[in-house]
Amino acid sequence: MSTTYGTFPGSRPRRLRTTPAMRRMVAEYRLHPSDLILPAFVREGAAEPVPISAMPGVVQHTRDTLRKAAVEALEAGVAGIMLFGVPEEAKKDALGTAGTDPDGILQVAIRDVKAEVGDELVIMSDLCLDEYTDHGHCGVLDADGRVDNDATLERYAEMAQVQADAGVHVVGPSGMMDGQVGVIRDALDQTGHEDVSILAYTAKYASAFYGPFREAVGSSLQGDRKTYQQDPANLRESMRELELDLAEGADMVMVKPALPYLDVLAKVAESVDVPVAAYQISGEYAMVEAAAANGWIDRDRAIMETLTGIKRAGANMILTYWATEVARQL
Ligand code: PBG
C-alpha cells in the first residue's frame, strides 16, 4: 500500500541541487585550508628524499626537503605540520634512546622547521617510541616481552621535554599508555614548558590501516599492538579514554583512524568542549591512491569526499597526507 500526497510532490529537495551555484550556497560544511594538518616524515642521514612505495606521492624527507615542505604547506594555508622522525637503523635499540637524544632526528627536524617557519605554522611532533625501538613497539618491554606501561611513561616524560626544548608547539602522544597525558603534562610544566599543548590520541584503534606507516618510518613490528591500542569492536571504551585524557590535561583530542571510525568521531565531537582532530591515516591514503591508479575511482573527488565526511562527523582539524595539495585547491 502506498500513500499518495497529491499529483505532484509537495516538497522537492532537488530544487536546491539544480546548479553548482545553488549547491555551493546551501552547502552545510566547507573544508578550509586551516582545517588541515600535514603529517611529514624526516629520515636521518638521507641525501635524497626516499619514496614510500605503499604511499605514492609521500616521501621520507631529507632535512632540506622537509623545510621546503613546511614552507609549501604554510603558503598553501595549511594550519600545522605533524613531524615523525626516522632514525638510522643502527640507532634503534630496546629503549628507543634516539627518541630522547636532544640531537635525535625528530628534535633536529623540529628545530629546522621552527627556524624556517617560526610560529607561522603550528609545529607538532609524534610522541611515541615505535620509530626508535628495535622491536617496533610504542613502549619499552618488561622481562616477559610485554609492553611495560609505567616504565614507558618515564620515557615519554623525557621525550616531551626534549621535543619541547627543541621548540615544538604541540606534542602528540600516540602510544596509548595509561596515564600518558598526565605524565607528559607534568613533565612539560616542571621544565618550564607550560605553553606547549597536548594533542591526545584519545581514541586510537589497533588498525590494519596503519600498514603503510610501518614502511614510512622503517619499522618492523614484532607482534601487534592489541594490548595497548583499542579493539575496533568498542565504542563506549572511547568515552572512557576521552574522560581520562581530559582529566589529565589534554588540550585537544584525536580520533584515529578516521574513515572506519566516523561514529566514534561524531560521538567524541558532540561530547567535548575542546578542539577535536581526526587522523586520515596511511592506509586510508593508500586505499584511495591505489584505486585511483587503477582507474577505479575519481581520485580528486574521492579525496574531497572523504575529507568532507570527516569534517561533517565533527572534526575541527584533519591530519591528512593530502593537506598541501587539497589546501591549494580550496
Ligand atoms: C605511532 C603512530 C602510528 C601512526 C601515527 N603514530 C603507528 C601505529 O600506531 O601503529 C600511524 C599513522 C598512519 O598510519 O598514517 N607512533
- E strand or H helix that includes residue 159: helix 149-165
Is the pLDDT at 6 greater than 90? The verdict is no
pLDDT band at residue 1 under the 50/70/90 scheme: low
CA 126 – ligand 1 centroid, Å: 9
Is 299 marked as a binding-site residue?
Answer: no
pLDDT band at residue 270 under the 50/70/90 scheme: very high
pLDDT band at residue 153 under the 50/70/90 scheme: very high
Q: Is 273 helix (H, G, I), strand (E, B) or coil?
A: coil
Q: φ, ψ for residue 181 (rounded to 5)? A: -65, -45
pLDDT value for 3: 65
CA 33 – ligand 1 centroid, Å: 23
C-alpha cell belonging to residue 109: 627536524
Residue 285's nearest CA partner among 259, 262, 313, 261 is 259
Residue 103's nearest CA partner among 169, 166, 173, 193 is 166
- Phi-psi map region of 268: left, alpha, beta (phi>0 left; psi -120 to 50 alpha): alpha
Is 321 marked as a binding-site residue?
Answer: yes
Q: What is the pTM of this model?
A: 0.96
- Is 204 an annotated catalytic residue? yes
CA distance 119 to 115: 9
Ligand 1 pocket test, candidate residues 210, 259, 321, most atoms within 8 A of CB: 210
Is the pLDDT at 184 greater than 90? The verdict is yes
CATH class of the 29-329 domain in this structure: alpha beta
C-alpha cell belonging to residue 166: 627543541
pLDDT tens-digit readout, 39-97: 999 999 999 999 999 999 999 999 999 999 999 999 999 999 999 999 999 999 999 99
DSSP-derived letter for residue 166 is T
- With b meaning 16 or more CB within 10 Å and e meaning fewer, what string describes 48-67? ebbebebbeebbbbbbebbb
pLDDT value for 4: 65
